[in-house]
Amino acid sequence: MTPPAVQLTIVGSIGIDTIETPAEKREEILGGSVSYACAAASFFTHTGMVGVVGSDFPGAFRETWKNMDIDLEGLQTVEGRTFRWSGVYEANMDHRRTLATELNVFERFSPELPESYREAPYLFLGNIHPALQLHVLEQVRDPKFILIDTMDLWINIDRPDLEKVVGKCHMLTLNESEAQLFTGEGSLAKAARSLLALGPQYVLIKKGGNGSMLFSQEEVFLLHAYPLEGFKDPTGAGDTFAGGLMGALAASGRTDKEAIRQAMVYGSIVASFGVEEFSLDRLVRLDRDQIEERVAKFKDMCRI
Amino acid sequence: MTPPAVQLTIVGSIGIDTIETPAEKREEILGGSVSYACAAASFFTHTGMVGVVGSDFPGAFRETWKNMDIDLEGLQTVEGRTFRWSGVYEANMDHRRTLATELNVFERFSPELPESYREAPYLFLGNIHPALQLHVLEQVRDPKFILIDTMDLWINIDRPDLEKVVGKCHMLTLNESEAQLFTGEGSLAKAARSLLALGPQYVLIKKGGNGSMLFSQEEVFLLHAYPLEGFKDPTGAGDTFAGGLMGALAASGRTDKEAIRQAMVYGSIVASFGVEEFSLDRLVRLDRDQIEERVAKFKDMCRI
């Protein structure tokens, strides 16, 4: 029996995180954009991971991914230490401060896609150096839909490459402050218009607990965040949202705007579960029924 | 011919404002919670204003209200200067700083409802001292629906009266930071639960450009703010929202949760017009067709 074909390829960082919140400190837990995104996508479609870990990477973390049926053929293991990140969240969890970043094996990461990933119709370029994102695009064979994420660092230090790669993607996602930094516009509607001019069909601006906004030339779609009574750790929420979105979109086989709206709802709901606990702790216990139940509850909250 | 009966009574402050934004400074313009709220409500229902102005109050401001068909029988004019407020908005318009407050005739304001307002089925108690809000409740005859607004000042200095009057109303509205201050809860869902315990059926938390959330014991309703490319002056946006909500609710003759959802949409859309210009400048040129057009556009943006 041949394994199912990878429908969605996700490229990004893999980290071992140490995170402190006002309530709790957790050391050396599984993190990184591609870990959160693949976990979220795995509820919907067969997903292939492209990333790098060091020789110290715990077998238990690898097992976590395997148990979620994530395809690990694109995972590189190289001699050395895995990327480490540590940060602390302030009282209201709105802001976080990075305490330490050790790139380690991630410093020389060059994403190489296994043959079986290159035909995948959906691609999510997680937040890595735009030159590496361009390198991924050279390897794929005309995907139906490419989502790209980025961060303030690349906006500040490599805008030319970033603009080049954004222009080759269907959707750009970034958060509110990054959209403002990228464009110099305070108004998100204006910022989106300026980002659409770079070439993508869609710009998805994330506002954390205040939801997200999807802009295209023709229309705007507004999406709330599911209101939680509390959450433990917002790390990776944006990656979980984007991964869930791409997983659900891949599962639909579509790329039209109605399918994107529905996929965003799924991404947002999976992210709402993700932040309830640290790392992938909540996602490993999540099932499709729980997702559907919350989606139905959420849609009722938004009905006008 | 007898004039139409007042369906909605609104009580609050009337001020002459001086407002500075990063782009512009406007001096001695018409402001105050009851002015914004009555203007918004006037698109939907016959609205009576209860407030106080001084002998210096410009006739042109009074004409503005008359031209909107606001009932002014409850407007008191007393010897002295009208309430003055001045404030400045910071660069991103998220925060404002009060430069000066002169209470003037507002200091001795005691809201007295004309006989014709006492039977009005809808009542909006704008943000004034909770003891005065209680005084209004002694004058009305069992309204179908009472909305109450408040502010951080009353939470800090007269919590007992505030809790008493909130318990007699159907809906409490406050902004995000006030809800957190009132309850000590960072999570808005938890804050709302604690506020519902005071007695109102609904708690409406306003989040400015991030929309609003309506909580009851049974459900949550999430509403976006209409995305604007720019706005000139957010002063009075919350009062405009609440006034429009109550006007639309009064026009429906209903108080059920579906009617409240629709009324919130109308309130929010009127507020989105209001902030496009200073004072009532945009609202005096607004008509029902423009409101309906934006409501339809907004509903399409929120459709999932």
Nearest to A187 among B211, B230, B302 (CB): B230
Q: Name residue B21's amino acid.
A: T
- Distance between CA atoms of A230 and A272, rounded to whole angstroms? 10
Residue A222 has pLDDT above 70, yes or no: yes
- Distance between CA atoms of B32 and B239, rounded to whole angstroms? 9
Interface residue B190 vs chain A (CB under 8 A): yes
- Distance between CA atoms of A232 and A278, rounded to whole angstroms? 6
What integer pLDDT is reported at residue B207 of this predicted model? 96
Q: Give the three-class secondary structure for A19.
A: strand
How long is chain B?
304
Interface residue A227 vs chain B (CB under 8 A): yes
- Distance between CA atoms of A207 and A47, rounded to whole angstroms? 26
List phi, psi (to 5°) of A86: -135, 145
pLDDT tens column, A112-131: 999 999 999 999 999 999 99
pLDDT tens column, B111-140: 999 999 999 999 999 999 999 999 999 999
Contacts 24+ apart (CB under 8 A), A258-264: A260/A171, A260/A202, A260/A214, A260/A221, A261/A214, A261/A221, A261/A223, A261/B303, A261/B304, A262/B304, A264/A204, A264/A212, A264/A214, A264/A221, A264/A223
Interface residue A248 vs chain B (CB under 8 A): no
DSSP A162: H
Closest CA to B304 of A222, A250, A288, A289: A222
* CATH number assigned to the domain with residue range B8-302, chosen from the 4 options 3.40.190.10, 3.40.1190.20, 3.20.20.70, 2.60.320.10: 3.40.1190.20
pLDDT tens column, A238-272: 999 999 999 999 999 999 999 999 999 999 999 99
pTM here? 0.95
pLDDT tens column, A66-101: 999 999 999 999 999 999 999 999 877 878 899 999
**Counting Cβ atoms within 10 Å, is residue A81 exposed (0-12), middle (13-18) or buried (19+)?**
middle
What integer pLDDT is reported at residue B94 of this predicted model? 75
Chain A: residue whose CA lies nearest to B190: A229
Find tokens 């394994």 and name the residue: A3
pLDDT tens column, B70-88: 999 999 999 999 999 999 9
What residue segments make up the domains of chain A, in order of their start?
8-302
Residue A2 has pLDDT above 80, yes or no: no
B300/A219 touch (CB, cutoff 8 Å), yes or no: yes
Interface residue A221 vs chain B (CB under 8 A): yes
Nearest to B301 among A190, A222, A228 (CB): A222
pLDDT tens column, A187-221: 999 999 999 999 999 999 999 999 999 999 999 99
Tokens of residue B230, six digits: 């720019």
